[in-house]
């Protein structure tokens, strides 16, 4: 079986803004990818031409699908949680939905936001981090959600981190990186994927110069893995992993 990676985000455009390089480079290596997005982004500050939250959600669902296609994502799913309200979900039920998907997809690597909430310190990103972290560990435990598919333990969990901040935003407390991913070969595809989110055009414009300066790499922190060993720097999320 080929290697697999699952990416869990909160909003349409997370998949390209935060994780686009990892997803595109994985696709180029023949790695099967699954992007799971918890909300349709109805509460976004930028509304595009949408006359209502429901209309914006429909627009952003279509944008998400188009972006995933550009990135070469194998499977993508947009769930039904309310944008801007993830901190109020039933944590155990929401984590269970992620557990079920991990058990069925069987990813080797899982990537998500760090507990700082990412570059924009978004509360939804913080909750996604907590949910994904719990699901990562619970997916392999037979006593957790025994009725939700066969237990399966993913092999590595990474948080996205960064070496720059967005001006005029609250400063996050990011985790130190252990993986520096060279994404120059897919940098233009990542930008193209972001352009498939025209409703969020102002975000693209405010971050354009930052991505011109820092956009040739993505940084990740290894949070959990098989075995016990000291942290080390790497340039590959799949280093040492073999197809099963």
Residue 244 pLDDT: 65
Q: What is the 3-state secondary structure (H, E, C) of the chain?
A: CCCEEEEEECCCCHHHHCCHHHHHHHHHCCCEEEEEEEECCCCCCCCCCCCCHHHHHHHHHHHHHHHHHHHCCCEEEEEEECCCCHHHCCHHHHHHHHHHHHHHHCCCEEEEECCCCCCCCCHHHHHHHHHHHHHHHHCCCCCCCCCCCCCCCCCEEEEEECCCCCCCCCCCCCCCCCEEEECHHHHHHHHHHHHCCHHHHHHHHHHHHHHHHHCCEEEEEEEEECCCCCCCCECCCCCCCCCC
In order along its 244 residues, the chain shows pLDDT tens digits of: 799 999 999 999 999 999 999 999 999 999 999 999 999 987 666 556 666 778 788 888 999 999 999 999 999 999 999 999 999 999 999 999 999 999 999 999 999 999 999 998 999 999 999 999 999 999 999 999 999 999 999 999 999 999 999 888 889 999 999 999 999 999 999 999 999 998 877 777 777 888 889 899 999 999 999 999 999 999 999 999 988 6
Q: What is the pLDDT of residue 212?
A: 86
Q: pTM value?
A: 0.95
């Amino acid at each position: 079986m080929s290697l697999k990676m699952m990416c869990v985000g909160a909003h349409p455009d997370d998949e390209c803004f935060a994780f686009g390089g990892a997803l595109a480079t994985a696709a180029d290596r023949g790695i099967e990818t699954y992007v799971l997005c918890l909300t349709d982004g109805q509460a976004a500050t930028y509304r595009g031409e949408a006359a209502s939250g429901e209309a914006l959600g429909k627009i952003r669902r279509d944008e998400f699908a188009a972006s995933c296609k550009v990135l070469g994502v194998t499977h993508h799913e947009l769930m039904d949680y309310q944008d801007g309200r993830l901190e109020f979900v039933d944590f155990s039920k929401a984590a269970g939905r992620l557990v079920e998907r991990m058990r069925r997809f069987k990813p080797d690597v899982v990537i998500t936001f760090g507990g700082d909430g990412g570059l924009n310190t978004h509360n939804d990103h913080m909750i996604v981090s907590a949910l994904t972290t719990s699901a990562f560990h619970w997916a392999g435990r037979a006593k957790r959600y025994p009725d939700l598919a066969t237990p399966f333990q993913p092999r590595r969990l990474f948080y996205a981190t960064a070496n720059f901040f967005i001006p005029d935003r609250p400063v996050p407390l990011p985790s130190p990186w252990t993986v520096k991913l060279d994404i120059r070969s897919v940098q233009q595809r990542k930008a193209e994927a972001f352009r498939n989110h025209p409703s969020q055009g102002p975000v693209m414009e405010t971050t354009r110069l930052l991505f011109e300066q820092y956009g040739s790499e993505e940084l990740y922190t290894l949070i959990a893995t098989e075995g016990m060993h000291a942290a080390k720097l790497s340039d590959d999320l799949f280093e040492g992993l073999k197809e099963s």
